[in-house]
Amino acid sequence: MRRRQEGSVLLEVLIAFSLFAVVILAADSGTMFSTAAASIAQQRSVASTLISADVANASSIPFSDLSAGLNPSAETLGSDANIQVVGSTYTLRLTGATLATSNTNTSEAPLVPHTSTTTIKGIAYKVASYPSSSNGLVTLVVVVTWTSALGGSAKLVGETQMAAP
């Protein structure tokens, strides 16, 4: 009888340890998921802040320069994967909008150059600005891309319209 009790106690201990291991593994994977989600949220927040800063920089330049847009003679716009070039027409692939490209300035960030890279907490964020002009309004599309610390690439797009003052 005693031997039977010892065997059932051993079985109960094994079941208890198994349940404990399952609980620990579930808690660990939940913690890893939460950490990954927090990291992704932080990266999106940084990208959003970079978009806001780029729009603020664009707002501070003269409207005539903003509506003139990019300068294709100061940088190679055709090498930008977001731009499709047909003859002398530059189109933003994301929206199909024809980009303004009559700026003659050789340095006027964020338009010339229209891309920049900023590294924050070890992650390089590429910020690119794409202005199009129509009916006295400038539509500015800002695209931020980065390689996530968790692997893979990520992108956040912002768009705003500006009118002449």
In percent, the amount of the chain with pLDDT more than 90 equals 70
Amino acid at 155: K
Amino acid at 43: Q
Domain ranges of the chain: 2-65+109-163
Alpha carbons 131 and 15: distance in angstroms, whole number: 65
Paired with 89 in beta bridges are 86
Is the separation of the CB atoms in 98 and 132 below 8 Å? Answer: yes
Q: pLDDT at position 37, please?
A: 76
Q: pLDDT at position 27, please?
A: 66
Contacts of 158 (CB under 8 A, 6+ apart): 48, 51, 52, 54, 55, 141, 142, 144
Q: pLDDT at position 29, please?
A: 63
Q: pLDDT at position 86, please?
A: 95
Q: Which residues of the chain have pLDDT under 50?
A: 1
Strand order in the sheet with 137-147: 115-120, 123-134, 137-147, 153-163
| pLDDT tens column, 96-116 | 999 999 999 999 999 999 999
Q: pLDDT at position 35, please?
A: 73
- Strands 137-147 and 153-163: what pairing? antiparallel
